Amino acid sequence: MPAPRFYCDIPLAPHARLTLPQAVAHHAVRVLRLRDGDAVVLFDGQGGEYPAILRLEGRDVWAETAAHDPREAELAGTITLVQGLPSGDKMDWIIEKAVELGASRVVPIAAQRSVLQLTGERQARRLTHWRRVATAASEQSGRNRILQVDAPLTLRQWLATAGAAPGLLCHPGAAHDLRGALAARATAPGPARELRLLVGPEGGWTDDELAAAVAHGAQAIRLGSRVLRTETAGLALIAAASALLGWDADPEPQA
């Protein structure tokens, strides 16, 4: 059975005795019931990981780290999912699975048809929760990098920061499919290892949002002949795009 993995928001070092953050210590000892001498793996999001031995001395919980292991589980390129806010807790699922599939960033979009509307303290709490979901998913999936979850924006706000080529916009009525769009993109100028995928909320993008995205350079694409739910579409796009681009084959360690 693989050793439990823990993200530590402190600098890690090889061959060191490190006091574990309180939340990590609680999860290891109180939730997972680990014992003194158990093997664990620690990572700090800066790349690679540290095999370690858990040590318990009274109420003190610390770890003895071994040599740094540069192992990575990242895609060969970066994928950003620009996701229209769905209803309920569907965003938890989307973020968790986006981590597992290798995405680097999720941008929640307060779309015109989004049922969920977040402001002020409620938005701050939800953002903190989403980032915890991303961290837990990295621990579970074997990634040593933490997916970035941005604060929610409107689509126009995001487009204003996205540059000249915001990416591929999922729309069931689009004339072009994903395979063709990626093939054309491979020969186009610009960053070849960066892909942005835009997915609307329940009900899809409005005509105004579609027009704004296309005006900023987004390309509308379809994915198959079926209409997918918002919590399915982005994940299907990530999986299909990374497979078509060959990004999930033999990733190299990152510095």
- Residues of the chain short of pLDDT 70, as ranges, are 164, 186-192, 249-255
Name the DSSP letter for residue 69.
B
Instruction: Give me the pLDDT at residue 187, please.
Output: 62
pTM as predicted = 0.91
Instruction: Give me the pLDDT at residue 72, please.
Output: 96
**Length of the chain as a residue count:** 255
CA atoms within 13 A on the CB side of 243: 9
Domains, the chain: 5-65 (2.40.240.20), 78-245 (3.40.1280.10)
Contact 77, 245 (CB under 8 A): yes
Contact 159, 153 (CB under 8 A): no
Nearest to 177 by CA among 210, 231, 212, 226: 226
**Neighbouring residues of 213: CB distance < 8 A, sequence distance ≥ 6:** 155, 159, 166, 169, 198, 205, 220
Q: pLDDT tens, 135-148?
A: 999 999 999 999 99
Instruction: Give me the pLDDT at residue 249, please.
Output: 66
